[in-house]
Amino acid sequence: MSSDHDVQLAPPGAGLPKVQGFLLRYLVFPTFCRLTSWEKAGSLFQDEGQKLGALARKLSPEKLQQRVLIQPLWGIEDSSRNWSAEMVLEHLIEVGSRIAIGVVELSHGQEASVEADIVAVKPKGHGERDVLEEYMAFLDQYRRTLAEDVDDRRSTKTLVHPWFGDLTPHHWVCLGAVHQQIHRRQMERIVAGLE
């Protein structure tokens, strides 16, 4: 592992390796969605979120902002392998907020006003805000939004994801949980690289 800021990686939006992307889209993710209820996905999202918060709390403000180059990890494209812990949390807030908005709108039979744009959700990591406190508040807001603002959990209205295709609200809630889990593994590697 390295913290080399100038390492050459694939550009944002280059996607996952082809075989990995195929397996995730057509086998792993659909199977997860079939086996995972709305409630179970919501619980996994929160459980992984608490683990992420606990990992980040171990780090000083300086370490929180230090990039660490990690080995390739399933579900993370190459451009995301050289992030700081702060960047992981920033990314999760942005992605999770978009998921919550999209799920609510789709559940009410509306077109989603958000877009699943891989490049647009890449973090900046400027250290200008208390991202850990913001992330913990986001977890609570996400839980309340899905509990209070969603209408039809079984809605067939979809929003496209560039890697997984057309996803219903249930699919998006499952993707949110998987996304948290993937980035918790990334955070573990970042913390290990800093120790």
| pLDDT tens per residue, range 34-56 | 999 999 999 999 999 999 999 99
Tell me what the mean pLDDT of segment 130-153 comes to.
Answer: 97
Tokens linked to 174:
């499952």
- Judged against a pLDDT cut of 90, whether residue 195 lies above it is answered with no
Residue 8 lies in a domain: no
Residue 3 lies in a domain: no
| Count of domains for the chain | 1
Tell me what the mean pLDDT of segment 66-83 comes to.
Answer: 95
* pLDDT bucket at 8, cuts 50 / 70 / 90: confident
- Judged against a pLDDT cut of 70, whether residue 6 lies above it is answered with no
- Judged against a pLDDT cut of 60, whether residue 2 lies above it is answered with no
Residue 11 lies in a domain: no
Amino acid letter, residue 145: T
Residue 6 lies in a domain: no
Residue 2 lies in a domain: no
> In the prediction, which pLDDT does 127 show?
73
What is the chain's mean pLDDT, rounded? Answer: 94
* pLDDT bucket at 5, cuts 50 / 70 / 90: low
Residue 70 lies in a domain: yes
Domain interval for residue 51? 18-194
CATH number at residue 46: 1.20.120.450
Residue 9 lies in a domain: no
Q: Would you list the DSSP string of 96-162? A: HHHHHHHHHHHHTTPPPSS---TTTT-------S-HHHHHHHHHHHHHHHHHHT---TT----EEET
Q: Which residue has the tokens 């992605």?
A: 95
Residue 28 lies in a domain: yes
Quote the pTM value.
0.94
